Amino acid sequence: MEGDALKDKKVLRSFVMISQIGISMMVPIFLCGALGYWLDGIFHQKIIFLLLILLGIGAGFRNMYVVTRSFYAADMKREHDRLAYMEDLKNYSKEHPEEDFSGVMEGKKKRYPDPKGPARR
């Protein structure tokens, strides 16, 4: 049951992200296009519409970057922390060559007691 709830949560989060990206890209493009069309009607300069459409497209891509960065910020932080921990382990093993870390890295040595052992019934 927990796996289904977690899967549903991921699907919902993905749907929200896709919807938010679509909205945050289209709104600036349409607003700048409408403003450019209106200003073109007033000043009769086609370049205003083109410039504002390009500005809207740039704003849309910037919004897409900001939205995706905020959605993946927690994942990026967790990945950065994991890489920093591994780097610290490598540095520690270089500073202490007399200690054998091969069993820990390969999973041969158990660092913690067996959870089903006699003390854990």
Query: What is the domain partition of the chain in residue ranges?
Result: 2-95
Contact (CB, 8 A) for 46 and 54? no
Of 21, 48, 44, nearest in space to 34 by CA: 48
Show Cβ contacts of residue 101 under 8 Å, excluding neighbours closer than 6 positions.
Answer: 89, 93
Q: What percent of the chain has pLDDT over 90?
A: 33
Q: What predicted TM-score, i.e. pTM, was given to this entire model?
A: 0.58
Q: Give backbone dihedrals phi and psi of 86, rounded to 5 degrees, phi first.
A: -65, -40
What pLDDT is recorded for position 109?
47
Placement of tokens 């700048």 in the chain: 32
Residue 22 reports pLDDT greater than 80 = yes
Q: How far is CA 92 from CA 44, 54, 67, 81, in A?
A: 70, 52, 38, 16
Placement of tokens 């913690």 in the chain: 112
Residue-wise pLDDT for 59-103, tens only, equals 999 999 988 887 788 788 888 888 888 888 888 878 877 776 665
